Structure 1
Amino acid sequence: MGKLYVVGIGPGGLQHMTVRARQVIEESEVIVGYTKYIDFIAPLIENKEVFSTGMMKEEERCREALRLSKDKIVSIISTGDAGIYGMAGLVLELIENEQVEIVPGVTASSAAASILGAPIMHDSCNISLSDLMTPYELIKKRVEAAAQADFVITLYNPKSKGRPHYLKENIETIKKYRNGNTPVAVVKNALREGQEYEIFTLDSFDDSNVDMLSVVLIGNSQSFVKNGVFITPRGYKL
């Protein structure tokens, strides 16, 4: 009898995987994933069967993982958390009677926040600017609603060659509801090789180094920078 694990491997550095994620990957006979993400865990899967594809093949990977899991132990991996822009939802939509366990991981907003300080100590939301799955008009509506409600906002998939202007447009929307000195941070390759970050304000924000390996965090009306650290206060009386 097989089993399928849907595993969030965290930001990509092996030391930031959960103990459970490592356990199930070691237990698995087959690993399924996007080629680049497979590379992140290469030291853990040297003697395992691997099924990998390039981008835009998510359904193919999920169907193959479900097929293989009928008589093998399989892990299908996502970076970050499997249930946040990962494979968990699609697997569960496709499932029939297979045994499935979701294994959570550290999502990009949490990874980036740990580098910056404590920017998401209060209410926050994640919004992807990719319009491959969601109409751009709906994305803009969500950004405006989050800005108006004073959420700390983390923008995933903030900028690509095919949509170079979305980030600037949505920053302009957020500026309608936030002061110009509101902190904005760009974190690239959070907690993995090539990590770098910059902290701006809404008024000084520069998106020239932002790409699909980045996340952008925008503070709420109470956020500030102290000694180079990005903080959103929880509201404790000091």
Structure 2
Amino acid sequence: MGKLYVVGIGPGGLEYMTIKAVRAIEESDIIVGYIKYLDMISELIKDKQVFSTGMRGEVERCKKAIELSKDNTVSIISTGDAGVYGMAGLILELSKDEDIEIIPGVTASLAAASIVGAPLMHDNCAISLSDLMTPYELIKKRVELAASGDFVISIYNPKSKGRPFYLKECIDIIGKYRSGNTPIAIVKNALRAGEKIIITDIDNFSDREVDMMSIVIVGNNSSYVDKGRFITPRGYGR
């Protein structure tokens, strides 16, 4: 019987992969993934058999990985963490009696947070603005509830050509519950080539530089910027 690893490769730089993730890929006979993500680990898989699909080929990839794992050791990869908007959930939904191991990775909000300071030090949540599988009205409800609960909010999939206004509308919703100087970090290509950082606030927010390779972190009512670092205090006595 084979083995199926569901691997989070982190933000894309090999130095940010876990040792376990590297070992699983090295052990695997076959690597399955979205073609652009496979390019990120090309050095590790140059001698491997590869099965790839384009964007929105998630179901096809997962079914193929499960099929191949019956007689082979297989890794199916996701950027970030496989259990955060990755392949882990779909693999488990489709699986039967396969030997599956999920290997965590550094998700986008953690990668971005490490660059800009310590914005996630208190209670926080992640919300995706992609409406491919979640109705936009439900997304907005989640944003409003998170904002009213004073959570730091990491926004995944913040802006695409098909939904150019969602991010600005959601920042406006958050602004009903936060002061105008609440910090916002926009991080594009966190911890990989082409990295770009913008630290702004609710009053001065612009989505002009935001795309699907970006993560947006909105602080809570205690968050602040000091010496260019975005900080959300935990409340330790000083």
TM-score by length of 2: 1.00
> For 1:7-156, what aligned pairs fall within 5 Å after superposition?
7-156=7-156
Q: Which amino acid aligns with 1:36?
A: K
> For 1:143-222, what aligned pairs fall within 5 Å after superposition?
143-222=143-222
Q: Which stretches in structure 1 are left out of the alignment for 5+ residues?
A: none
Q: Which stretches in structure 2 are left out of the alignment for 5+ residues?
A: none
Distance 2:22 2:56 in 1: 26
4+ residue runs over 2 A deviation: none
* SS of residue in 1 equivalent to 2:59: helix
Distance 2:168 2:196 in 1: 20
Per-residue CA deviations over 1:198-232 (Å, capped at 9, x if unaligned) read 00010001110000000000000000000000000
Distance 1:54 1:123 in 2: 35
Per-residue CA deviations over 1:73-110 (Å, capped at 9, x if unaligned) read 00000000000000000000000111000000000000
Count of residues paired in the alignment? 238
Distance 1:111 1:203 in 2: 25
* SS of residue in 2 equivalent to 1:6: strand
| Alpha-carbon offset, residue 237 of structure 1 | 1.2
Distance 1:216 1:71 in 2: 42
Per-residue CA deviations over 1:9-51 (Å, capped at 9, x if unaligned) read 0000000000000000000000000000000000000010000
| Alpha-carbon offset, residue 115 of structure 1 | 0.1
Distance 1:170 1:63 in 2: 35
TM-score by length of 1: 1.00
* SS of residue in 2 equivalent to 1:125: strand
What corresponds to 2:5 in structure 1?
A: 5
RMSD, aligned CA: 0.4
Distance 1:205 1:173 in 2: 13
Distance 2:93 2:13 in 1: 29
* SS of residue in 2 equivalent to 1:51: strand
Distance 1:40 1:235 in 2: 39
| Alpha-carbon offset, residue 114 of structure 1 | 0.1
Distance 1:21 1:144 in 2: 36
